[in-house]
Chains A and B, each alone.
Chain A
Amino acid sequence: MLIVNNLVKRFNSTIAVDNLSFTVKPGKIFGLLGPNGAGKTTTIRTILNIIKPTSGEIVFNGNPITYEYYNIIGYLPEERGLYKRSKVIDVLVYFASLKNMNKIDSLSRSDYWLKRLKILNFRNKKIEQLSKGNQQKVQLIAAIIHNPQLLILDEPFTGFDPINQQEVKDLILSFVSEGKTIILSTHQMDLAEKLCEDILLINHGKTVSSGKLSDIKKNFGGNNIRLAFSGDNDFLKHFPEIIKFDHYHNFTDIQLKDEIIPSEFLKKLIQKFEVNHFSIIEPTLNKIFIDLIKENSGTV
């Protein structure tokens, strides 16, 4: 369990992280979300002890993160790249040695992961001879080769094709089932929505929203319906029950006033139009993200 309390990081006059507090539970994926420049990377770096926080405390499994923890932390940075002119296996063994693994273990773990991610045939090739996707796989292996207890992944899916994304997702889920503590930082809201149980949404270094994703969704104006109908859509403007609506090609998403009961609204609709589809929808994380950040930026 990772507990962050009142974390503040100040660079000269700018505040990158402004009083963040959150808890990351083991066996779950914690989503650290926010727009570009929100302070995600700085937060991650302070957790990793790469930079010192101005104030606040970070505790992992009951102790502050110090040197002893380096060997049980795994980190995949957002930017990708490896020693281009070195061999795949040499790079993996090097990173393993920096996590205090012995040579025999690091070789067998490398081979295990190379095989599992289907790139064992590149074992003795130079990194620069690999495709971009395969290079990223090697980097991912370098981040997890020592079987870390705390795993921080910054945009692990970018640059992968859908099949490889699936493989990476399976890999992350296998770490979840082993009870590891995992922080996932990403802009891909659909993936975050599928993977994360808890999220922290930050903007300008401050918390915008945090907690269980299901609770956040419930609290975020829940009265949404999806509608498909024949005919012109102009009529929707004339319903006082509707707060706002978004047209898509095949359907329209409508946000109703909180006191309106959706089934009652449907009855009213059917009397006037031919409805082809009607469903009650939860707000997507993507929508929550956009709305909350817009709202938050507007007030700043």
Chain B
Amino acid sequence: MKKILAVAKWEYIEKVKTKTFIISLIITPIIIISFSILPSLLFKEEAPNVEVIGLIDTSGVYFNELENELSQYKLPDGKRNYVLINLAFKSKSFDELKSTANKNIQKKLIEGCLILHYSGSDSVYAEYRSKTLGNFKNVERFEEALSTIRFKKKLEQEGIDTKIMQYFQNKVAVEQLKVEDSGKVSDQDFLTTFFVSIIFILLLMMMVVYSGQMLVRSMIEEKSSRLIEMLVSSITPDELLTGKIIGLGLLGLTQIIIWFLIGISLIASALIPLTAFNNILPMLSFFILGFLFYTSLFVGIGSTVNTEQEAQQITTYLSLILMLPVVIAMPAMQNPDLLVTKIFSYIPLTTPTIMLLRLNVETVPEIEIILTLVILILSILVVTKLSAKIFRIGILSYGSKPTIKEILQWIKE
């Protein structure tokens, strides 16, 4: 036992000091957080400047009303977001007007130009020209303004009070709520749910890949220098393996704790909603057990490789398996009762990540949580046993990579 702890301590301290660990510790959450938060921040960002929009409306009826409608949008400093200018000069033809507008856009004299087309008596359609196609917010506002105006005109034509407009504009909103096991009703929205699940899965994946690579790299070092022979003439392979798993487990735990603290500070700063941590206990269980499962798998597989390239291949395959839930995340969230997600929940390779996802998007029955946890724990025990057998022989075999057949024989021995 003393020797196991000596190995664990060595693995932990020597790896905690490495640059790879420090980078993964800090960079990973930064990448993930910026990935999940940046888009929504950018989306909400108001254009900081007054935007000059041209209007080409040969009928001339829309200009005043459109300017009126758009005046409701203000910049943070109180100025109007949009200044509308009339570009429909009587002296020019429609085509000339359009080409002048294009030139003005190119010279950045105006932000963009709205062009109204009439076909038939009642129908209007508009095009919006600008330097980019990504002005969703502007286009959305123009659509709404134009529709409102058109509707108002129709009402006036029919002699109906335009106050009824306000009634129409108040749409009925449908809010999605999730009923928790505790009976609580959580009001987190779909996107938050999605991102929280993805963040947890990504964290697990990064952790497994980073530590797996570290583990395999150090084993290759020990094998190629025959250090491993000095080690196993001092301790049994089982002790060495256990020590390595404990050391790496502690390393993972250090990461989790630090990330957890980052998470708490993010809640404090209201970047992640508190509701993201509703299921924290089962989620942490799946997270830690998943990490242990993959670590014990890596120890066995890692002992068979002799070069960095082989090691990288293996870590890539394993991380692809870990990414599977991201692929089925969308359908699983829309329909958590899908058979395929249920099946993947019970396959140890995908249990941790699928369950992390399901815990967030649906209320998983307790019996399923317990069952999958038990399966995961049993698999860890079995995999550790098998890994130990492969490890015992793998660490002493050099040269070409063993075939599956050879590895099966090692397990039987």
Contact = CB atoms under 8 A, between A and B. Distances in A.
Contacts of B64: none
Interface stretch (A78-86, A168-176, A266-274): A78-86
Contacts of B225: 79-82
A85 B229 CA distance: 19
B227 A51 contact: no
A50 interface: yes
Given A81-B224, A84-B221, A86-B14, A98 B229 contact: no
Interface in B222-242: 224-227, 229-236
B233 A50 contact: yes
B232 A50 contact: yes
A85 B16 CA distance: 13
Contacts of B14: 83, 85-86, 90
A251 interface: no
A95 interface: yes
A73 interface: yes
A70 B235 contact: yes
Given A67-B236, A99-B234, A100-B2, A81 B226 contact: yes
Nearest to A135: B225
Contact of A70 (B2, B18, B221, B234): B234
Interface string B200-238: 000000000000000000000100111101111111100
A60 to B, nearest CB: 13
Interface in B1-32: 2-3, 6-7, 10, 14, 18
A155 B214 CA distance: 31
A70 B233 contact: yes
A4 to B, nearest CB: 16
Interface residues of A, number: 31
B9 to A, nearest CB: 8
B47 interface: no
Given A45-B396, A83-B14, A98 B226 contact: no
A134 interface: no
A100 B239 CA distance: 13
Contacts, number: 65
Given A85-B18, A98-B235, A142 B230 contact: yes
Contacts of B230: 75-77, 95, 139, 142-143
Interface string A44-85: 010011110000000000000001001101011111111111
A255 interface: no
Interface string A91-118: 0001101111000000000000000000
Q: Range of interface residues on chain B?
A: 20 to 34
Nearest to B234: A98
Contacts of A81: 221, 224-227
Contacts of B235: 70, 98
Contact of A75 (B3, B224, B229): B229
Contact of A82 (B18, B227, B396): B227
Contact of B226 (A79, A84, A85): A79
Nearest to B224: A81
A50 B234 contact: no
A100 B226 contact: no
Contacts of B7: 98
A81 B220 CA distance: 12
Contact of B229 (A45, A67, A82): A45
A77 B226 CA distance: 7
Contacts of A90: 14
Contact of B3 (A45, A77, A84, A97): A97
Contacts of B18: 85
Contacts of A80: 225-226
Q: Which of A76, A81, A139 has the most CB of B within 10 A?
A: A81
Contacts of B234: 70-71, 95, 98-99
B233 A75 contact: yes
B227 A94 contact: no
Contacts of B6: 94, 97-98
A151 to B, nearest CB: 11
A42 to B, nearest CB: 10
Contacts of A76: 230
Interface in A198-249: none
Contacts of A67: 236
B114 to A, nearest CB: 64
B383 to A, nearest CB: 24
A79 B223 CA distance: 10
A75 B228 CA distance: 11
Contacts of A49: 233
Nearest to A12: B409
A50 B226 contact: no
A57 to B, nearest CB: 19
Interface string B100-119: 00000000000000000000
A69 B342 CA distance: 52
A73 B227 contact: no
B2 A50 contact: no
Contacts of B231: 98
Contact of A100 (B3, B229, B233): B3
Q: Enumerate the 3 nearest inter-chain pairs by beta-carbon distance, A residue then B residue, closest first.
A: A81-B225, A79-B226, A98-B234
Given A98-B6, A98-B235, A143-B230, 19 more contacts: A48-B233, A49-B233, A50-B229, A50-B233, A70-B234, A71-B234, A78-B226, A80-B225, A81-B221, A81-B224, A81-B225, A81-B226, A81-B227, A95-B234, A97-B3, A97-B10, A98-B231, A98-B234, A99-B234
Interface of A: 45, 48-51, 67, 70-71, 73, 75-86, 90, 94-95, 97-100, 139, 142-143
18 contacts: A45-B229, A45-B396, A75-B230, A75-B233, A77-B226, A77-B230, A79-B224, A80-B225, A81-B225, A81-B226, A82-B225, A85-B18, A86-B14, A94-B10, A98-B3, A98-B7, A98-B231, A143-B230
